[in-house]
């Protein structure tokens, strides 16, 4: 069980921490210092490197979370409210990520490849908003995961 918990926490830290860094640190610096072609190319490259880690995190979170749910609580009926809420928020985050991956991220890569900077900017704006939403959900999930059992 300790391996599952460790992997689960590490996957969450990688995903949520990566979003925090991208949103709070990299985004403002890139917006303030780079012109659209360089900024969009940078973000396309950042996502090319970050999103495989998100895929791995999603897989690890899903497998370890469900394993712990059934091994520790015997399923949904045995879990307290914070486990249900953590699962719901995690699934919502995964759905948002899947949308980002299959829609605006693909369009961003195409726009950057074609040097269509206005379209790339629109797609990056959509990705930015969705990652911002996922960051909020991720931080909320971490708070619930770490403190929910004490409420």
- Residue 43: the pLDDT is 98
Taken in order 38, 41, 45, 46, the sign of the CA dihedral is positive
Average pLDDT along the chain, 151 residues, taken 10 residues at a time: 95 98 98 98 98 98 96 90 95 98 98 98 98 98 90 73
Q: Of 61, 70, 67, which Cα lies nearest the Cα of 89?
A: 61
Cβ proximity of 60 and 90 under 8 Å: no
User: Dihedrals φ, ψ of 61, to 5°?
Assistant: -60, -45
- Residue 71: the pLDDT is 92
Taken in order 150, 76, 11, 54, the sign of the CA dihedral is negative
CA 113 to chain centre: 24
Q: What tokens appear for 74 in the block? A: 């015997």
pTM score, whole prediction:
0.94
Q: What tokens appear for 33 in the block? A: 């210092």
Sheet strands (E) in the chain: none
Sequence spans of domains, the chain: 2-150
- Residue 11: the pLDDT is 98
């Amino acid at each position: 069980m300790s391996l599952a918990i460790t992997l689960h926490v590490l996957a969450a830290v990688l995903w949520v921490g990566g979003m925090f860094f991208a949103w709070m640190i990299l985004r403002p610096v890139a917006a303030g210092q780079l012109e659209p072609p360089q900024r969009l190319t940078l973000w396309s490259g950042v996502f090319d490197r970050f999103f495989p880690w998100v895929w791995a995190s999603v897989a690890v979170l899903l497998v370890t979370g469900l394993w712990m749910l059934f091994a520790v609580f015997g399923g949904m009926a045995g879990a307290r409210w914070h486990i249900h809420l953590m699962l719901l928020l995690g699934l919502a985050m995964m759905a948002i990520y899947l949308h980002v991956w299959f829609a605006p991220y693909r369009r961003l890569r195409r726009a950057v490849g074609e040097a269509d900077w206005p379209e790339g900017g629109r797609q990056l704006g959509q990705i930015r908003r969705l990652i911002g939403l996922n960051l909020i959900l991720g931080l909320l999930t971490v708070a619930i995961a770490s403190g929910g059992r004490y409420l």
